[in-house]
């Protein structure tokens, strides 16, 4: 995998993996349809398996998604799902001091994650970057 040169918003390490966020992008995103569950790390497998067992949701929805950092639940179409930065980045204790900082994803009206599966971690990464 070739690394791209250029500015990045923040870098973050978790469980031996280093992540570099350009514009807070967390691609690739894994879903039941785009990757085989067996290729995911154990926490990604558990994420999708748990949400798969809890389906179906009524109506149209975006699938549960593991974005390599957090397990996003299946979400009804037209809704935004958010989680506190302190929950997503539980190994960064200083984030507990920022209860108003959230990560979020948006499910469009047709049941597709907006922004090609991009998760908006900009509030979280802004706090991490300034620590």
**pLDDT by residue (tens digit) across 1-28?**
343 443 333 334 444 444 433 333 344 4
Provide the domain limits for residue 24: 10-129
Model confidence pLDDT, tens digit, residues 92-121: 888 888 888 999 999 999 999 988 778 999
4 within domain boundaries? no
82 within domain boundaries? yes
What's the CA gap between 91 and 85, in Å, rounded? Answer: 10
The count of structural domains within the chain is 1
Structural Rg of the chain based on CA atoms:
15
Q: What is the CATH number of the domain that holds 43?
A: 4.10.1240.10
Model confidence pLDDT, tens digit, residues 34-74: 445 667 778 877 777 777 666 656 788 888 888 888 888 88
1 within domain boundaries? no
């Amino acid at each position: 995998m070739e690394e791209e040169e250029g500015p990045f918003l923040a870098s973050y390490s978790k469980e031996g993996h280093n992540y570099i966020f350009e514009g807070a992008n967390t691609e690739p995103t894994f879903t039941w349809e785009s990757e085989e569950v067996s290729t995911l790390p154990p926490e990604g497998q558990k994420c999708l398996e748990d949400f798969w067992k809890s389906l179906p949701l009524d109506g149209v929805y975006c699938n549960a998604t593991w974005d390599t950092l957090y397990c996003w639940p299946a979400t009804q179409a037209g809704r935004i799902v958010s989680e506190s930065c302190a929950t997503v980045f539980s190994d960064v204790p200083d984030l507990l001091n920022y209860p108003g900082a959230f990560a979020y994803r948006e499910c469009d009206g047709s049941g597709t994650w907006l922004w090609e599966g991009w998760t908006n971690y900009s509030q979280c990464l802004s706090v991490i970057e300034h620590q």
